[in-house]
Amino acid sequence: MTLQFMAIIVFLTLALLFSAIRILREYERGVVFLLGRFYKVKGPGFIIIIPFIQQMVRVDLRTIVMDVPTQDVISKDNVSVKVNAVVYFRVIDPQKAIIQVENFFDATSQLAQTTLRSVLGQHELDEMLAERDKLNADIQGILDSQTDAWGIKVANVEIKHVDLDESMIRAIARQAEAERERRAKVIHAEGELQASEKLLAAAKVLSQQPQAIQLRYLQTLTEVAGDRSSTIVFPIPINLIESWRKNDPSE
């Protein structure tokens, strides 16, 4: 009977000893409570917890990748879109992450969803599509400031998809086509303006030199005659004939 009692004592002692031993990895910390009150943060490595008196909660310090579910957002210009995102965050203060909030992962997820809807609702659709970097930075800054009290650092936020309905996609396509046509007309008008300026400058130069007008006229006749084999009746301006007569040394 005595041997059995001693064996039980040894077994219970070993069980308590093994239950007191904790091994924390390099990226883990243990938040230790002593009789319900916060005691200290331990780890990493080999630590000992007094059974029944101390309790420990493990906290992972690695960066957590959290997918934000798709949110229905109404933009500033009253366009309904579906947006989802991804948030990168990590625990930098294990004590706050355990004591200040019940479940820091769920709390950060809910905060990210509401912040995503709030920030994007203040911008127009064109800004959502063209200025994602700015929107990502705005959302990240808001989340980081609000989760600081929980001992959490939000490192980055990325908007993944902005989904539109078919009617809005067609409207955007028509808008883009109209914009391309507008740019083409503007470029064509600018080309016409530049060409008219060059022609005006050339006309001023030719008007100052009658011989240049004669040479240009003869060059035009040569080009027209070389392109067609039929007979061409080409009118000769009277002022051009008079200039020839004035420049003729025989008269």
Left (φ > 0), alpha (ψ -120 to 50) or beta: where does 35 sit?
Answer: left
Domain annotation covers residue 176: no
Domain co-membership, 110 together with 86: yes
High-pLDDT (> 70) share of the chain, %:
77
Residue 247: which residues within 8 A CB-CB, separation 6 or more?
210, 211
Residue 156 lies in a domain: yes
Q: Mean per-residue pLDDT for 115-141?
A: 91
What is the pLDDT, as a whole number, of residue 192?
84
Q: Report the CATH number at residue 117.
A: 3.30.479.30
Above 80 in pLDDT, residue 237? Answer: no
Instruction: Please tell me the least confidently modeled range out of 30-34, 62-66, 158-162.
Output: 158-162
**Is 225 within the bounds of a domain?**
yes
How many domains are there within the chain? Answer: 3
Residue 44 pLDDT class (50, 70, 90 cuts): very high
Same domain, 83 and 54: no
pLDDT in tens, 156-165: 999 998 888 7
Lowest mean pLDDT among 52-61, 111-120, 233-242: 233-242
The range of the structural domain enclosing residue 86 comes to: 64-169
Q: Kindly state whether residues 85 and 52 are assigned to the same domain.
A: no
Q: Are 169 and 81 in contact (CB under 8 A)?
A: no
Residue 82 bridge partners (DSSP): 72, 163
Supply the pTM of this predicted model.
Answer: 0.67
Same domain, 33 and 72: no
The residue among 46 and 16 whose pLDDT is bigger is 46
| Residues 115, 68 within the same domain | yes
